[in-house]
Structure 1
Amino acid sequence: MISNNEMIRIRRQMQRRIRDVVAERRRTREQNPAPVSPASPGADQEVCVADNGPG
């Protein structure tokens, strides 16, 4: 069985690894920004709905 101290150590180690991976991905994203894809036709258009009053 895993002792409480070992569980805490493992949890901290996992959190550190996750933080390192997130930081590395952030650095990679900042160095290589994703290309901006052109919006599909009509993507920015508003949809207008007629208001015919009550009923």
Structure 2
Amino acid sequence: MISSSEMIRIRRQMQRRIRDVVAERRRNRDLNPSLSPVTPAPANADQEVCVADNGPG
């Protein structure tokens, strides 16, 4: 069984790894904007608006 202190250590290690990966992805995105998964639409582009169908009533 894992002790409480080991769980805390593992959790902190995982959080540190996640933070490092997020920071690396942010740096890469800032250095190369073409890799960004979301590109804003041009200001004059038509936008489609979808309305949710919540059923009868």
TM-score in terms of structure 1 length: 0.64
Residue 2 (1) aligns with residue 2 (2): yes
- Give CA-to-partner distance per residue, 1:2-33, whole Å, 9 cap, x none: 00000000000000000000000000000000
Match of 1:33 in 2: 33
Structure of higher CA gyration radius: 1
In structure 1, distance between residues paired with 2:8 and 2:18: 15
More contact order relative to length (CA 8 Å, sep ≥ 6): 2
Give the alignment's Cα RMSD to 1 decimal: 2.8
Instruction: Please state how far the C-alpha of 1:38 moved relative to its aligned partner.
Output: 7.1
Match of 1:11 in 2: 11
- SS class of match (2:33): coil
Percent identical among aligned pairs is 75
TM-score in terms of structure 2 length: 0.62
Count of residue pairs brought into register by the alignment = 44
